[in-house]
Structure 1
Amino acid sequence: MGFQLGPKFLRRAPKGWLPARAFPVKHSAYEHNNNDPEGGETVIETSAGLTVTWRVECDGHEPYEFSEQRTAPTWLLQGITGGGKRWYSLRIRPQYGLMKDVGVPGVVNPQDPHELWVDWDRAYEEHEVAWAREARVQREKAKRSGTFDHVVDRVINPFAGSLRAEDEQRLDEALEEDRAARAAVEGTWASVLDAEHESESAELKRRMEELERIQKEGRRVPAMVVARAETDRMFAGVPVVVLTFEIVEDGRRRHVVFEHMYGPRHATRYTPGAQVDVWIDPLDPNAICPGR
């Protein structure tokens, strides 16, 4: 097995642990806050932080989920620098970070199923195959969508390659997703959208009431924004943004992922490095209400 980055610096898989595969139900990868306190240049990142909820599948056991923060390779950041298997490597072909349907191979402690050793080397090699397929599918989608999209895709995605026979199923799924999205925009599913809008409005009201309750009943602590990810999802007509906060409480630091709806103007309040206050739910330490 390959080089292990987290949760501990083990270069070999622990003996006696059980083979498993973990799928990221939701995750946020972020750069460490390594700014020079003297005001110098930012330290070069050799690893990334990862806040993740895993769904673990292990032969002979029921699948289970758990959440954790750990150190991970820089290719999870989906950036250009460090986009290869190692932090100092570059990858010129398209890559899409940690993919939910691919997951990662590893082993789990039979005494504690929440101790997961990940083989990041094998995970990268498996993701390379999935990234290449996704790039070919995106290229074919652009080709079928129209001349302008195809020209743009060839410029920004020059190494994708042509669609292969084994990609057809994934292409069909992607095209169906696009057709469904267009149908919703065009009003073909007007009745469904009305029902969804009513449901979203009720959920948004419930969520705002919950945040007000946390702010009223919770304890206020300092925090720092360590990551902000704009998703392609919308809720009640507002973009969904995923924020990762580093919370300092009783001299200890931990990360909490917060997902909410923010317009572009409000989202700028939470740039990485921003110092804010958050209120913590007395009933759930992972439920928070961010302040300004």
Structure 2
Amino acid sequence: MGPGLLRRAPRGWLPARAISLKHSVRSHHYGSEGAPEIETTFALRVRWRIEVAGREPYEVEEQRDGPAWLAGGGVGGGNRWYKVRVRPQYGLMKDVPVPCFVNPADPSDLWIDWDAAYDAHEGAWEREARIRRAVSDASNPYDKVVGRLTNPFAGRVRAEDEAAEAEARIEREKPPPPAAPGPPGPFEVRLAELGRIKDTGRKTRATVMAHTATPRSMFGMPVVMLTFFVEGRTVEFEHCYGPRHLKHYKVGREVDVWIDPDNPDALCPGQ
């Protein structure tokens, strides 16, 4: 169950895991006719913590359709809407990592492996059932009877349940990761373009003919138009400079420049 009709992870995407920090699952709205008797999918709104090997974790908030088992509901809810799970299940759980794949071109674009997620949740559901039954057994005779009637297959609490609960608590207390990186801004795009010209361009010398202030600014610095005389022609170059940096481009001074191999009228000046 991934984007569109894909049943397999898109080729080239990065394997990762998603941990729900906060989520809600609700029925779809079907207008005046209401919801059907059997819903095959539910609407999921979730904030994921995304962990990709070798990278800093980050957060993604999204809305998507998910399998019916996400809603939980005690007995029932197999990994397909038409299947039944005899043991209790509690839907999507915050502490259970969900296998997924990340689009390398857009870190917020996820392909969720819901089948693997269901398999990962089965052990967590059974542990939760054992803990709930132990709590009801320790409460009072009425809660003990109700707990055993509603949770007959849970069994006794195991030693590993405490370790798993401690690990889940550590996971919950992790500091929130930064949001997914967004698209680069104009300044970053400009710096990347200048870096490309300097890395791939041809180095030569140019003379500063003029520098003119423009009415525009970027990040608090004025945008300046520099005019260079290079290889028999004038080339204009626009960038943002502070007073300290601009002093390197006094009129009449000769400086290094790199010429774009694809455009002779584009350059990257040095000092």
Give the TM interval when normalised to the shorter protein: 0.5 to 0.7
For 2:60, give the aligned amino acid: F
**Paired residues of 1:106 and 1:117 also in contact (CA < 8 A):** yes
Quick check: which has more Rg, 1 or 2? 2
Counterpart-to-counterpart distance in 1, 2:37 and 2:148: 34
1:116 and 2:110 are equivalent in the alignment: yes
Aligned to 1:143: 137
**Paired residues of 1:81 and 1:88 also in contact (CA < 8 A):** no
Aligned to 2:50: 56
- Structure 2 residues without counterparts, runs of 5 or longer: 169-271
**Paired residues of 1:102 and 1:126 also in contact (CA < 8 A):** yes
- Structure 1 residues without counterparts, runs of 5 or longer: 175-292
**Paired residues of 1:18 and 1:110 also in contact (CA < 8 A):** yes
| CA apart distance, 1:135 | 0.5
More helix by share: 1
> 1:40 and 1:142, CA in 2 relative to 1: closer, same or farther beyond 3 A?
closer
1:24 and 2:20 are equivalent in the alignment: yes
**Paired residues of 1:82 and 1:88 also in contact (CA < 8 A):** no
Aligned to 1:272: none
| CA apart distance, 1:113 | 0.6
SS in structure 1 at match of 2:45: strand
- TM-score (normalizing by structure 2): 0.57
| CA apart distance, 1:103 | 2.5
Counterpart-to-counterpart distance in 2, 1:12 and 1:172: 34
| CA apart distance, 1:144 | 2.2
Counterpart-to-counterpart distance in 1, 2:35 and 2:64: 25
1:8 to 1, 4, 12: 4
> 1:163 and 1:80, CA in 2 relative to 1: closer, same or farther beyond 3 A?
closer
> 1:7 and 1:69, CA in 2 relative to 1: closer, same or farther beyond 3 A?
farther
Counterpart-to-counterpart distance in 1, 2:108 and 2:10: 14
For 2:69, give the aligned amino acid: W
Counterpart-to-counterpart distance in 2, 1:104 and 1:87: 19
Q: Deviations over 1:243-270 (max 9, x none)?
A: xxxxxxxxxxxxxxxxxxxxxxxxxxxx
1:165 and 2:159 are equivalent in the alignment: yes
- TM-score (normalizing by structure 1): 0.53
Aligned to 2:64: 70
Q: Deviations over 1:209-228 (max 9, x none)?
A: xxxxxxxxxxxxxxxxxxxx
Quote the sequence identity (%).
57
Q: How does 1:195-214 map to 2 (within 5 A)?
A: none
For 1:111, give the aligned amino acid: A
| CA apart distance, 1:33 | 1.6
- Runs of 4+ in structure 1 off by over 4 angstroms are 170-174
Counterpart-to-counterpart distance in 1, 2:54 and 2:27: 36
1:45 and 2:49 are equivalent in the alignment: no
SS in structure 1 at match of 2:88: coil
**Paired residues of 2:13 and 2:104 also in contact (CA < 8 A):** yes
Q: How does 1:128-277 map to 2 (within 5 A)?
A: 128-169=122-163
For 2:104, give the aligned amino acid: P
